[in-house]
């Protein structure tokens, strides 16, 4: 009898540990959204379409969806202002139970280059990036450029959180620029990123 209860208690502890580990791995209450560029830094720009504006608009749409799902949202900027990359990382690092999403749109010298790609810096970030990239390209018909290691991005390697950087399309590609200049497109980008975040929970 004594032996048996010891085993049962041992198993119970193991289960408790497992549950704790699993819930710890994915527990986050806060999403730090970082609309790339801003103020004097336009980011990519073609024919009057500025990346900084698209980033901020997409970020606000994402914020609205996440709040509706009960998540706490922090924005690194919510107006057209300049913020250094270190400042963005510093804001993110104030939170522990959080993930970090940086929103960008792309540009290339070759106007035929198009598509969506998502960057990450750590293994935990890779999982989140893969989920978001999959959901984005499943809904948006463009080239799937895949997930990539983005250790060169200060916002990724200076944040202690699970962090990803989404490049939602190329401003330099005429076909894609027309699309991402439309509110409907940025709404879809926001919705798919939100889904990727919510399943990661
Ligand atoms: Zn950018």
Rounded Cα–Cα distance for residues 76 and 12 (Å) = 43
Q: What is the distance in A from the centroid of ligand 1 to the CA of 66?
A: 22
At residue 151, the pLDDT reads: 85
| Alpha carbon of residue 162 to chain centroid | 9
* 2 pLDDT more than 60: no
What is the per-residue pLDDT for 7? 56
Please choose, from the candidates 113, 88, 83, the residue with its C-alpha nearest in 3D space to the C-alpha of residue 102: 88
At 68 the three-state DSSP class reads: helix
Helix (H, G, I), strand (E, B) or coil at 160: coil
For all residues of the chain together, what is the average pLDDT? 92
Share of the chain residues as helix, strand and coil, in percent rounded to the nearest 5 = 50, 20, 30
Residues 69-115: pLDDT tens digits?
999 999 999 999 999 999 999 999 999 999 999 999 999 999 999 99
4 has a pLDDT exceeding 90: no
Local structure of 143: helix, strand or coil: coil
For the ranges 11-20, 104-113, 114-123, 177-186, which has the lowest average pLDDT?
11-20
155 alpha carbon to ligand 1 midpoint, in Å?
Answer: 11
Compute the distance from residue 9 Cα to the ligand 1 centre, in Å: 53
- SS3 (DSSP) at 86: helix
Largest interatomic CA distance in the chain:
80
pLDDT band at 195 (very low <50, low <70, confident <90, very high): very high
Report residue 180's pLDDT band, with 50, 70 and 90 as the boundaries.
very high
Give residue 198 CA to ligand 1 midpoint distance, Å: 24
Cβ contacts of 14 within 8 Å, gap of 6 or more: none
**Burial letters for 145-177: b for 16+ Cβ neighbours within 10 Å, e otherwise?**
bebeebeebebbebbebbbbbbbbbbbbbeebb
Per-residue pLDDT band for 24 (boundaries 50, 70, 90) equals: very low
What percent of the chain stands above pLDDT 90?
A: 82
Do residues 57 and 168 lie in contact, with contact meaning Cβ atoms separated by under 8 Å?
no
Q: Which two tokens stand for residue 99?
A: 């993930």
**Percent with pLDDT over 70 in the chain:** 90
Q: How confident is the model at residue 152 (pLDDT cuts 50, 70, 90)?
A: confident
How many A from CA of 107 to the centre of ligand 1? 8
Q: How far is the CA of 97 from the centre of ligand 1 (A)?
A: 26
Residue with tokens 């999982």: 127
Q: How far apart are CA 82 and CA 41, in angstroms?
A: 7
Q: How far is the CA of 45 from the centre of ligand 1 (A)?
A: 10
More confident residue, 119 or 152: 119
Ligand 1 midpoint to CA 143 (Å): 18
By residue count, the chain amounts to 201
By the 8 A CB rule, do 91 and 32 touch? yes
Homologous superfamily in CATH for domain 29-200: Zn-dependent exopeptidases (3.40.630.40)
């Amino acid at each position: 009898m004594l032996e048996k209860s010891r085993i049962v208690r041992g198993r119970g502890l193991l289960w408790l540990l497992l549950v704790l580990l699993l819930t710890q791995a994915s527990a986050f209450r806060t999403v730090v959204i970082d609309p790339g560029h801003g103020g004097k830094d336009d980011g990519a720009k073609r024919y009057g379409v500025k990346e900084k504006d698209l980033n901020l608009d997409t970020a606000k749409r994402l914020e609205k969806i996440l709040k509706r799902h009960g998540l706490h949202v922090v924005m690194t900027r919510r107006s057209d202002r300049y913020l250094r990359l270190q400042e963005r990382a510093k804001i993110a690092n104030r939170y522990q139970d959080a993930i970090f999403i940086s929103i960008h749109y792309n540009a290339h010298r070759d106007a035929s280059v198009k598509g969506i790609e998502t960057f990450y810096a750590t293994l935990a970030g890779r999982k989140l990036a893969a989920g978001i990239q999959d959901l984005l390209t499943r809904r948006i018909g463009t080239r799937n450029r895949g997930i990539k290691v983005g250790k060169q991005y200060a916002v990724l390697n200076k944040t202690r959180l699970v962090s990803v950087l989404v490049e939602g399309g190329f401003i330099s590609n005429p076909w894609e620029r027309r699309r991402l200049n439309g509110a409907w497109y940025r709404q879809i980008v926001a919705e798919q990123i939100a889904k990727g975040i919510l399943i990661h929970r």
